[in-house]
Structure 1
Amino acid sequence: MRGDFFSKIKTGFGGLKGDTALYYPGCMTRYSLVEVLNNYKAILSDLGVDFRTINELKCCGSPLLNAGYKEDFEKIKEENLKILQRNGITKIITNCPHCYNIFKKEYGVGVEHITQILAANKHKLVSGESGEVTYHDPCLLARKNNIIKEPREVLKQAGFKLIEPFRTKERTFCCGAGSGVKQNSPKIANKIATRRLNQLKSKKIIVSCPYCYAHLKENASNKKIIELSETITED
């Protein structure tokens, strides 16, 4: 069932006009967070975005590059660029900050994070939420790409009162899941997550990164971790 936030949505999309955009969820969303994947596909459809998905695309290669496997990254990048070219894709939408950063800085293709799409179309959204929440800025959005105001605009439009935490926006604190830390040093990753959760004073924490979402949720005992799409598509 669609939530009130989109109950009176106006059709038609105001950004990425022209060519059909590719929605690329990234590996974490695609294989581990299928509900989030379906949420964003539904949201894009409700916004009237002309998009498609391509199953043959491989991982963006971010884990390889972070681990220092430059040659392997270049191979997978080349394969993906050929697939994009073959399918006539010049514009990408993703909900994963890791994929966003790689596509923008390593692939050199047109890419927008889902929060940018939502913020650009906030006039089409209808308020249906309330209460205090804290938004956790993912490192690769806030620190590396200055995507800070967009998610806040969406949440304010939804009716939430935002409580800024210690270490926020461009000074955000890592959740502990990125750059292979969780895979290689899970105890350290969990300690980082606990420290970050202690900085987030609200009982409800909203995130717009699949890694932050899964990792903080795994380590949260007395807080509710909410993926951004859940505030828009609720039962």
Structure 2
Amino acid sequence: MALPEGADPEVAGRAAALEARFGDKSPQTILAAAIERHAEVAAVTSFGAESAVWLHMLAQVDRNVPILFLDTGKHFPATQRYRETLTEAFSLGDVRLIRPDPAALAAEDANGMLFAADPDRCCHLRKTEPLKRALQPFSAWMNGRKRHQNAMRAGLPAFEADGSRLKVNPLARWGREEIAAYFARFDLPRHPLVAEGYASIGCMPCTSPVKPGEDPRAGRWRGRGKSECGIHVGP
């Protein structure tokens, strides 16, 4: 089987072994397996529409795992408040705000409107590069992607190689029904924008509500032919 582009063969082999052993297990088991095997592991979250589910699970396994939030400077105020709500509700011990390089923004996005002219470059400056720097101390990272979110994620495994790091997707196999049931079972706080039709929530200028029947991420970069910011596309 061909390796993912840029993947370290050793990491790819470890990911395949973990997938074979734990890939069809519960998200909690997947999280625990990743944490037990990697002393330097981080969680990356947008504090978006479904983030509460896996962050609640993570808090049950280890509430002191570093949690990285890409504070792009373009988030909805409601997202910032939701981050504070979940941090307090789940007693998350190490939430880190990862911000863009001020010099890079001054050079390429001084007026803050790059998202309109070149959304890919805007994502690169505000998300991809900051995350790349923030992940340097870590050998593995976890996130909340799921297969049901769009066609690009349809074959998502629980464990994969991301360059020289292991990447863990504990909710990969969970669908809308499982997510909704978990919210209800534990009475988890909902992101305020979900009630307004936002199924996937990113930066304010590039996020819109979705229509009935659309993929959850259809409201991201609507009309741009873009469905990923870049942090999940290659190493």
Q: With structure 1 as the length reference, what TM-score do the two structures score?
A: 0.33
* Higher helix proportion: 1
RCO higher in structure (CA 8 A, sep ≥6)? 2
